[in-house]
A = this chain, B = another copy of it.
Amino acid sequence: MKLKIGLSALVAMGLMGSMAVADDIKLSPQEMKKATQIYFDRCAGCHGMLRKGALGPDLLPKKTRQMGTETLEYIIYNGTPGGMPDWGASGELTKEETKLMAKFIQLDPVSPPEKSLGDMKKSWKLLIPPEKRPKKPETKRNWRNYFGVVLRDVGKVAIVDGDTKELVSIVPSGFATHILRTSKSGRYMYAIGRDGKASVIDLWMKKPQNVATIRVCNDARSIDTSKAKGYEDKYAVVGCYWPPSIVTLKGDTLEPIQIVSTASYTYDTGEFTREARVASIVANHHKPEWVINVKETGQVWLYNYKDPRNPKIHMLMAERYLHDGGWDLSKRYFLVAANARNKVVAVDTKEGKVEAIIPTGGTKPHPGRGANVDHPKYGPVWCTGHIGSNDIVCIGTDPAHHKKFAWKVVKDIKLPGVGGGNLFVKTHPKCNYIIADRPVNPDRKLQTQLYVIDKNKLEVVKTIKVPEKYVKEREVTVNGKKVKVKPRGPVHIEFNKDGSEFWVSVWGNKLVPSAILVYDAKTLKLKKAITGDWVRTPTGKFNVYNTMYDIY
């Protein structure tokens, strides 16, 4: 059903109607349809919907036609050391699909359609109006310790009780849900799918369900809510990849209020960029403002939502290409990766300015929200890992009391071995460790371990091998054919409310259930594996309390 939505959007893009021809390259409407879907799912994230490049290089015909089908096929199949995944070798694309994509990217890119506020409204479903919702929590469970778990490839969100580890509810969401966020009170949990479908779950219900959904755009990655005093639970905001825009919604109903285009000029070369995608959004706790990171233009927008129909936007010139980030311990500074430039941008949201742009020394920083440590020597520091190198670096974030360390890499923690591949680091104020994953390291051993960093020493003090039974290869039968699938390893770490345990997902294939592993944050022992037929492609996990207060 989710896939159908994805495809119908692509049909609407007008790509399916006719045979696509570019001299020697001919694709049938069926092939175009398939290639367009694969491109959207696998390639657009790094290379852009218009193929103009971002974290990955541009894939415009001028270049791709010179490279030719065979070279392109080889790269798509085997990947590159620069970070291009091995789509063929890893089994995600067949040989035929690899060849198809090698041809497809030699054709002219087609601009996807625009989407108006009217289009959005047509897709808006208020499933349970606010007045029919619970007046107080209906559940006796400790709902503030719920975990929302993204079941990515099956388009669902699982609500799991953090106390009992029981599955409380499974809620349908958009295709390939990217992240979850909670409202300030924690009552509402928001999901955003890669198909731009936003949904809101009411956690006060005995069995939490979607209470409203809306298709905001064709492609999105971020959602957040109004967290400032006086605006609690009032608004939600979606950051769209396509059309590149910021959409404000009513918090409880998802009724759309306003849409603002992010298409503008790159901060450095001043070139117009139609595809200026919203990479991430985070809510300021101190004032009615969202920090909006626009990937291609390298601009951070401080978006004041006090009067959401008439927004005030402070456009800060930062660095390219902006990706994800998180707050420092004081929640005054927001730190965001400029991944293609191997830098981190520190934004002072109190003064409304770029405070510093820090070269990390690593390759392709990928912080997620990062990990904060109040270090005895360096004071408050914020740490990020890298996709393309083995560095977990910590940056001083306290110019007031630790001036000489502020906005400098105070420690470069090397992960053992080679090949980079870290995606997330996470910690909790009550835990003595930062935990790091490494799911995109090509080495199977390194890929299936967790890395434990001591917060005082700022060193890797332990590696945790995920039990083999959770990551071993399995054979399944699909349409009468036997297929081998192998989970990538543990990905994304989240702590429970009191910081006594951390959860990691085993990144599997949707054909086979995998597991969510719960570790004791003190002993680092595996406490429990959450399993079941429903545990398919678990990825991001979001503890309600930690998400409400941005604890990481």
Contact = CB atoms under 8 A, between A and B. Distances in A.
A172 interface: no
Interface string A96-133: 00000000000000000011111010000000000000
A315 B269 CA distance: 25
Contacts of A317: 309-310
B270 A261 contact: no
A165 interface: no
A45 interface: no
Given A263-B261, A265-B260, A271 B114 contact: yes
A311 interface: yes
Contacts of A316: 310
B263 A259 contact: no
Contact of A315 (B114, B263, B264, B312): B312
Give the one of A263, A310, A316 with max B CB within 10 A. Answer: A310
A353 interface: yes
Nearest to A316: B310
Contacts of A114: 271-272
Interface in A198-228: none
A512 interface: no
Interface in A215-245: 243, 245
A52 to B, nearest CB: 12
Copies in the complex: 2
Contact of A353 (B116, B259, B310): B310
Contacts of A256: 270
A269 B117 contact: yes
A168 interface: no
A353 B306 CA distance: 12
Contacts of A118: 269-271
Interface in A276-321: 307, 309-317
B313 A116 contact: no
A354 B309 CA distance: 11
Interface in A249-267: 256, 258-261, 263-265
B310 A117 contact: no
A479 B498 CA distance: 90
A115, A270, A313: residue with the most chain B Cβ atoms closer than 10 Å: A270
Given A314-B312, A315-B312, A317-B310, A116 B265 contact: yes
Contacts of A271: 114, 116-118
Contacts of A313: 312-315
A261 B264 contact: yes
B312 A117 contact: no
Nearest to A304: B314
A217 to B, nearest CB: 11
Nearest to A301: B313
Contacts of A263: 261, 263-264
Contacts of A307: 353
Given A260-B265, A315-B260, A116 B310 contact: no
A314 B271 CA distance: 23
A529 to B, nearest CB: 47
Given A263-B261, A265-B260, A315-B260, A116 B309 contact: no
Contacts of A115: 272
A438 B447 CA distance: 78
A277 to B, nearest CB: 15
Contact of A265 (B117, B269, B315): B117
A307 B354 CA distance: 12
19 contacts: A114-B271, A114-B272, A116-B270, A117-B265, A117-B271, A243-B272, A256-B270, A258-B270, A261-B261, A261-B264, A263-B263, A307-B353, A310-B314, A310-B317, A312-B312, A312-B313, A313-B313, A313-B314, A313-B315
Given A260-B264, A311-B315, 8 more contacts: A115-B272, A117-B270, A118-B270, A259-B265, A261-B264, A261-B272, A310-B353, A311-B314
